[in-house]
Amino acid sequence: MLAVDTSLLVFAHLSEAPEHSAADPERELAEGDQPWAIPWPCVYEFFSTVTSARIWKERATEPTKAWAQVEAWLGSPSVHLLSETDDFANVLSTFVQRPRVRGPIVHDARVAALCVAHGVEALLTRDRDFSLFGELSVRNPFV
């Protein structure tokens, strides 16, 4: 099962962004019948990012439209939402105690731990910080 990170969700949603066409794997996953996943923290981060006027200025997405996008993804019959498992704390513990895991990278550690705890094959992302977690295979669809 492949999982998608916030970067892929954001650019799949923003049709005017130059990176939009590179986010096609998300659409293929959502419309296909192979299982795929979205970690819950990425749903929150997607919503926060696309509705932020500080980031997008006049192009920020209205909350109702952003939530409609989330509902469309949740409506995919093959999507799995990744949340904490019984052994999540053990996985997260090994990730957050690494030397470079501080501040905002703690969010990436949480996403990586969710993926590992759920046996995700690879995370689709362009965030290089995920390389800190060698237990998780990462693919960058933007290159």
This prediction has a pTM of 0.90
DSSP state of 3: E
What's the pLDDT at 22?
58
User: What rounded mean pLDDT belongs to the chain?
Assistant: 90
Q: What confidence score (pLDDT) does residue 136 get?
A: 97
Contacts of 60 (CB under 8 A, 6+ apart): 50, 51, 52, 53
Question: What is the DSSP pairing of strand 138-139 with strand 36-39?
Answer: unpaired
- The proportion of the chain whose per-residue pLDDT surpasses 70, expressed as a percent, equals 91
- pLDDT band with cut points at 50, 70 and 90 for residue 26: low
List C-alpha distances in Å: 62 to 24, 46, 118. 23, 13, 32
Which pLDDT tens digit goes with each residue over 82-139? 999 999 999 999 999 999 999 999 999 999 999 999 999 999 999 999 999 999 999 9
Architecture of domain 2-139: 3-Layer(aba) Sandwich (3.40)
For residue 20, what pLDDT band results from cuts at 50, 70 and 90?
A: low
Rounded Cα gap, residues 120 and 130, in angstroms: 14
Average confidence (pLDDT) over 17-42: 77
**Cβ proximity of 123 and 109 under 8 Å:** no
